[in-house]
A and B are shown apart, each in its own frame.
Chain A
């Protein structure tokens, strides 16, 4: 597959883009990543490819656009079936989709409620993040990864948001490791994978980005 066939409209700090890049890497696929200018205005290609949501990530496969990270990762899995990112049985797949949907809708936004607040982060926002992580710990149980022994769909959807945790911990004045040790252990396991380590940004850089972003938004 030549590089020209796969293009991702990307943003280095977006966990949703990271999920797509990890999925592509897990499949051993080459792609071109085009960084969108966060503050310079969205490119015409982005606006034309994703007129509904006008957001990254967009995956262009042979120039056909696909949007929404969980939907894109599903597409990648169906188009290039090996190695599989979803369990073989339909019940396992339904469970994976349920957790991916839950994380996609809840985790990032809950984290945003912490770093977006002026002054001290509200206790309620911290409680929400911890509650979500505890629910994920229950889903994880004693498994190495959400899918079991192998790193799969739910891990791919979840791990990118953890690159924002260092920043969220600083703004929220708490530590994920103290509150959710199992989840923290899972994070470390994921970071040992080359595909994850290469894609996830340095958490310190994410923290610096958010400090700058908060200043720009007048939250500081």
Chain B
């Protein structure tokens, strides 16, 4: 049977871009459907049908069957298409990759938004929290070229937010989350990651993201 792979995503979402990177890495052709995620009322009936609980992108549709949640989709893609594996064979290493990927989503990202939207002491505390997380990731990288070793793996893909979005946010807000003096290896990783083949075509246009963030932060609302 011919494979039918569709991806519901949003241009600015690090989560849906993760799936694009994985599909690119594996050489899987797919149809991309752009969703307007600024409000539930703009989301397509198909997205709401396939993801009724969370109503979010990304949704991967493989031969009509939906797979949800970016990290779960990454594992699904890795298990379904065996070329260029993104998880190591060893169960302990696989588990650590999963653990750190979840760490990025659950520990690193929320304080970024808190720092952006907060003021005074709350902002400082959140900023410090992000810096601690990044320092931890610097340790996890441990001098390697990528988290996955010589080639990008699941954890590199999960960290796309840090490599690209965080640095845009830094530029727009002036908040110094990631600095070369504290995290030199991580900064080098960021540059390597965004310029490597499976990734570079699957990042949002920088100017568009900058304009979007400036707009959003100035309280002019969420425009797509």
Contacts and interface: CB of A to CB of B under 8 A. Distances in A.
A, B assembled together: yes
A67 B98 CA distance: 11
Interface in B61-76: 62, 65, 67-69, 72-73, 75-76
B103 interface: yes
A101 B69 contact: yes
B102 A98 contact: no
A66 B91 CA distance: 11
Contact of B98 (A64, A74, A94): A74
A8 to B, nearest CB: 15
Contacts, number: 54
Nearest to B94: A78
Interface residues of A, number: 21
B182 interface: no
Contacts of B99: 66-68, 71
Q: How large is the interface on B (under 10, 10 to 19, 20 to 34, 35 or more residues)?
A: 20 to 34
Contact of B72 (A52, A72, A94): A94
- In order of increasing CB-CB distance, the 10 nearest A-B pairs are A90-B79, A78-B91, A94-B76, A75-B95, A79-B91, A94-B67, A97-B72, A90-B80, A71-B98, A90-B76
Given A97-B69, A101-B72, 6 more contacts: A67-B99, A74-B98, A75-B95, A79-B91, A94-B75, A97-B75
Interface of A: 52, 61, 64, 66-68, 71-72, 74-75, 78-79, 90-91, 93-94, 97-98, 101-102, 135
